[in-house]
Amino acid sequence: MAKTIPVLEIFGPTIQGEGMVIGQKTMFVRTAGCDYRCRWCDSAFTWDGSAKDEIKQMTAEDIWNQLVELGSNRFSHVTISGGNPALLKSLDELIALLKSKNIRIALETQGSRWQDWFYSIDDLTISPKPPSSGMETNFAVLDDIINKLLANGRTANVSLKVVVFNDEDFEYAKNVHERYHMLPFYLQVGNDDVTEADDVALRMKLLDQLKWLVEKAVQSPEMNDARVLPQLHALLWGNKRGV
């Protein structure tokens, strides 16, 4: 029998608002469940129980049918996020199905768990969490994940992305960038008001944060190869879900 995957939302086509393929037109599949509890998580509904009635157990084929229903022939790229999709071994069937349809696949994870299907992801974003999240990075696990990917020639398919809210986070980001200097590195503006409903007010605040982060990176010799980005979807659509 086909395996099932706990899915919280499927949406798109939209654009990837973050990281290594920012601007890429994509569909999103958001899985339920996370092994972290970041203080500022903008997708806490995936793990805090508030959307538990919306979780659907879906097979790879169910997900594909829903993607086609929403996106028709207007997509060639699918981003899998969460929660932490790396908790789900059962994603292997979805990844194989998407490959068979010639769809490029991106995936977002914090780097706390390994899955063998990481080798099949075209754009794998690993986003270890800075001190402001309240989480602690297990660098032994992260080293292992990155070493496996590098040993299998996946360098061009992987990037690191650290969200920065304050100076302490920036120091953490420097350490991560230095430790994994062989991988493309992104600094991402933190949104510390994930319940703000006023899109204009949020936009102004996020742009101020972006300016602060750019200034930090510009002044820092350790960040000569870093790329600084906002969450483009937050600038465009605020804290709205499903965009």
Ligand X SMILES: Nc1nc2[nH]cc(C(=O)O)c2c(=O)[nH]1
Ligand Y SMILES: C[S@@+](CC[C@H](N)C(=O)[O-])C[C@H]1O[C@@H](n2cnc3c(N)ncnc32)[C@H](O)[C@@H]1O
Residues of the shown chain interacting with ligand SF4 in the complex, contacts defined by CB under 6 A: 34, 36-38, 41, 43, 46, 82-84, 110, 129
Find the part of the chain contacting Mg ion (CB under 5 A) among 40-48, 66-74, 93-101, 221-229. 40-48
Among 14, 112, 132, 157, binds ligand X (CB under 6 A): 14
Rg (CA), the chain: 17
Report residue 77: phi and psi, to 5°: -145, 135
Residue 23 CB, shortest distance to ligand X, in Å, is 10
**Residue owning tokens 């991402």:** 188
Residue 109 CB, shortest distance to ligand SF4, in Å, is 8
Residue 241 CB, shortest distance to ligand X, in Å, is 8
Question: Is 40 one of the annotated binding-site residues?
Answer: yes
On whether the CB atoms of residues 232 and 22 are closer than 8 A, the answer is yes
Find the part of the chain contacting ligand Y (CB under 6 A) among 7-15, 68-76, 187-195, 218-226. 187-195
In 3D space, the residue among 205, 198, 126 whose CA is nearest the CA of residue 163 turns out to be 126
For ligand Y, the binding residues in 202-241 under the rule CB under 6 A are 231
* 3-state DSSP of 88-148: CCCHHHHHHHHHHCCCEEEEEECCCCCCHHHHHCCEEEECCCCHHHCCCCCHHHHHHHHHH
Contacts 24+ apart (CB under 8 A), 116-122: 116/92, 117/91, 117/92, 118/86, 118/145, 118/148, 118/149, 118/154, 119/149, 119/152, 119/154, 120/95, 120/96, 121/95, 121/157, 122/157
Site string for ligand Y, 105-144 (x = CB under 6 A): ---xxx----------------x-----------------
Among 26, 84, 132, 137, binds ligand Y (CB under 6 A): 84
> Could you say which of Mg ion, ligand Y, ligand SF4, none residue 37 binds, taking C-beta under 5 to 8 angstroms by partner kind?
ligand SF4
Q: Collapsing DSSP states into helix, strand and coil, what is residue 44?
A: helix
Question: Is 16 one of the annotated binding-site residues?
Answer: yes
> Could you say which of Mg ion, ligand X, ligand SF4, none residue 83 binds, taking C-beta under 5 to 8 angstroms by partner kind?
ligand SF4
Q: Collapsing DSSP states into helix, strand and coil, what is residue 51?
A: coil
> Could you say which of ligand X, ligand SF4, ligand Y, none residue 14 binds, taking C-beta under 5 to 8 angstroms by partner kind?
ligand X
16 lines the binding site for ligand X (CB under 6 A): yes
For ligand Y, the binding residues in 151-180 under the rule CB under 6 A are 161, 163
Residues forming the site for Mg ion (CB under 5 A): 42
Q: Which residues bind ligand Y (CB under 6 A)?
A: 34, 40-43, 81-82, 84, 108-110, 127, 161, 163, 188, 190-191, 194, 231
